[in-house]
A and B are shown apart, each in its own frame.
Chain A
């Protein structure tokens, strides 16, 4: 059952605009050198953080299409009639969303790192932190999408909700990418916390949507 739901999420994301967050990610990575200048040493120093900011803004893009279309079209109601727990629906959405968001973003981080002139070890560390961080970003996006579904100005509100919640992840992720020793463990702990909590928060929000 959950496999069917995950497959549906993946199919819908690929059919819609899975490349859009990735394009946005690359765009932000491209803009950074224009803003701070072509100093290679400076770029290499802030590069990991810049990629993290790019990933965070890219995570905002799909919020609108994650839950709201299913609510408007009665799909969530039909799932509820079938007594499929909302938490399972949320988990399927998180997994499906990450599958179309995380790997593509990691791939795009390669040209992104080239644009910022990151060297090999730094790139490796950044990719590692993004691998750990993107599932948590996907989980947050689904939770926030569930909370804001059906509201006016949902996408702006979603951004306002998601960014503060992602700040701990950003702090630990970016400093781990910069080579801070203990930060990687803290990032992993934060990601795990978000990932474990999000299905329940999103599930409660989906239940509340019906009344």
Chain B
């Protein structure tokens, strides 16, 4: 991502921003609300056109606010749809890694808030993508789940995957390069 500027809602959020996430690396984007952390992730994912600059991105997986799992399906099959589109077979492993194995046959609409938050991370883990874009991955998680997320991120980075995370909380899972977005 080189020299990227972002214009949202009638104002300039940031400009001249360059960043690169190398394999095995973690980059933590921090800053107060409304500074464009989520927009930065959406630009990196290719969902949003930047006002200026260029973005090139390997295959990536995004966990944003939206759950994006079919609510009437059991969790395993809802995740399986995305895994099938990604051509990956990591759903059982992802369910296990986030402590969701016991909920595999529970319909998505019955999951609690915290379980749904873990489910959206399981969707990223199951994708097998080299680059993860995580928007506030720790919101609404209990301590055990935070530990699970830490383990999941360290394992991904140890395997040569990159992580770009936007969070106002301290993110575990190894050493992070930080990028501060401020006014």
The interface of chain A, by Cβ under 8 A from chain B, is 1, 4, 8, 12, 15, 72-75, 77-84, 210-211
B157 to chain A minimum Cβ distance, whole angstroms, is: 20
| A74 in contact with B66 given A1-B85, A4-B85, A15-B72 (CB within 8 Å) | yes
Check if B85 sits within 8 Å of A84, measured CB to CB. yes
Interface bracket on B: 20 to 34
Check if A4 sits within 8 Å of B66, measured CB to CB. no
A91 to chain B minimum Cβ distance, whole angstroms, is: 15
Check if A4 sits within 8 Å of B81, measured CB to CB. yes
Residues on the A chain within 8 Å of B45, using CB: 77, 80-81
CA separation between A203 and B88, bound complex, in Å? 26
The reply to whether the CB of B179 lies closer than 8 angstroms to some CB of chain A is no
| A81 in contact with B47 given A4-B81, A4-B84, A4-B85 (CB within 8 Å) | yes
CA separation between A73 and B48, bound complex, in Å? 17
CA separation between A75 and B71, bound complex, in Å? 11
Judged by DSSP, the binding face of B is loop
Query: Closest 4 A-B residue pairs measured CB to CB?
Result: A74-B66, A74-B68, A78-B68, A75-B68
Residues on the B chain within 8 Å of A78, using CB: 62, 66, 68, 82, 123
CA separation between A82 and B58, bound complex, in Å? 11
A73 to chain B minimum Cβ distance, whole angstroms, is: 6
Q: How many A-B residue pairs have CB under 8 A?
A: 51
A56 to chain B minimum Cβ distance, whole angstroms, is: 29
A104 to chain B minimum Cβ distance, whole angstroms, is: 20
Give B20-70 interface residues, CB cut-off 8 Å to A: 45-49, 60-62, 64-70
Check if A12 sits within 8 Å of B70, measured CB to CB. yes
- Knowing that A81-B47, A81-B61 touch, tell me 14 more A-B residue pairs with CB under 8 angstroms: A4-B85, A8-B70, A73-B68, A73-B69, A74-B67, A74-B68, A75-B66, A77-B45, A77-B64, A78-B62, A78-B66, A78-B68, A78-B82, A81-B60
Residues on the B chain within 8 Å of A72, using CB: 66
Partner of B81, one of A8, A73, A80, A83: A8
The interface of chain B, by Cβ under 8 A from chain A, is 45-49, 60-62, 64-72, 81-82, 84-86, 123
Check if A77 sits within 8 Å of B85, measured CB to CB. no
Check if A77 sits within 8 Å of B48, measured CB to CB. no
Check if A81 sits within 8 Å of B86, measured CB to CB. no
Partner of B85, one of A74, A82, A210, A211: A82
CA separation between A176 and B101, bound complex, in Å? 58
| A211 in contact with B48 given A8-B70, A81-B62 (CB within 8 Å) | yes
Q: What are 17 of the A-B contact pairs (CB < 8 Å)?
A: A1-B85, A4-B81, A4-B85, A12-B72, A73-B66, A73-B67, A73-B68, A74-B64, A74-B65, A74-B67, A74-B68, A77-B45, A78-B123, A80-B45, A82-B85, A83-B46, A84-B85
A210 to chain B minimum Cβ distance, whole angstroms, is: 5
CA separation between A83 and B47, bound complex, in Å? 10
Check if B46 sits within 8 Å of A80, measured CB to CB. yes
